[in-house]
Amino acid sequence: MASLKSIKKRIVSVKNTRQITKAMKMVSAAKLRRAQENVVAARPYAKKLGEVLQSLAANLEGDLHPLLEKREARKLLLVVLTSDRGLCGGFNTNLCKAADRYIKEKKDSYEQINVMTIGRKGYEFLKSRYTVYKNFPNVLAKPNYQSAAMMAQEIIDGFVAEEYDQVELLYNSFRTVMTQDITFEQMLPVAQVEAGDTEETPVEFIYEPSVSELLGEILPKNIEVQIFKAMLETVAGEHGARMTAMDSASKNASEMIGKLTLQYNRARQAAITTELMEIISGSESIKG
């Protein structure tokens, strides 16, 4: 049986750990509310922009803008978006495993698959398995549109230069505090709405000032918005996952403290009983 001193030391250690996990839960809970508000505010704009762009693309020729060009998909770029920090349960691990499975499934369909990572955890997981084309760490501590625009420009430049023919985005979509959905989205080329996919009457657009100028503005903007929304979804999901993980860790620590306290009391009682028996035995031997 462990000594009283070692058990007491473990109890103190677990109590200190519980204080840390409780503090981390409170911090994530405070940050989650703001992050959730940002996601809810960004979703309608991103959704409507995507719908308008898909509708436009269905009525336009690919040669009007390089980002509408549909080439034979020989080279794929997978953009994987994870957090920079851990201690959030399976939030990053599940996404990285999904990326790993996806690459293995698609490796025979493409001549080349490049990986771009946003976030340190994704880079650390994938760098030992695949060649990471580019990595953007530490952009999620304070997500901003400028960072999204910079990364979007990197993707656009590579697509226009034909370094890859298709771009897929993989991230955790925030649903609830306890639920984040692994989401794949095709970024390039722009997915078109096929005739028959919608029951709405086709809309005829009047372009001002011109189709090429309009596309030159709206197509890059759509990539930027997609990345920025995914960043906000990831931040909200990270805080939700960490809040859940730290709450579970705090409960487990409390249970462990209870078990260790019981073990400590039993050991203490055994030690007291042993001392009493020794005293009584010594007393009896003196009498004898």
Domains of the chain: 4-20+246-287 (1.10.287.80), 31-244 (3.40.1380.10)
* Tens digit of each residue's pLDDT (9 = 90 or more) over 6-37: 889 999 999 999 999 999 999 999 999 999 99
pLDDT of residue 210: 75
Catalytic residue among 88, 126, 236, 249: 88
Mean pLDDT over 104-129 rounds to: 92
pLDDT of residue 72: 85
| This prediction's pTM | 0.85
What is the separation of C-alpha 169 from the centre of its chain, rounded to a whole number of angstroms? 12
* Tens digit of each residue's pLDDT (9 = 90 or more) over 164-217: 999 999 999 998 888 899 999 999 887 765 544 555 555 666 777 777 788 888
What is the separation of C-alpha 260 from the centre of its chain, rounded to a whole number of angstroms? 35
Catalytic: 88?
yes
What is the separation of C-alpha 53 from the centre of its chain, rounded to a whole number of angstroms? 27
Is a pLDDT exceeding 90 seen at residue 224?
A: yes
118: nearest Cα among 188, 163, 169: 169
The one-character DSSP state at 199 is: -
pLDDT of residue 10: 92
- Burial string for 265-277 (b: 16+ CB within 10 Å, else e) reads eebeeeeeeeeee
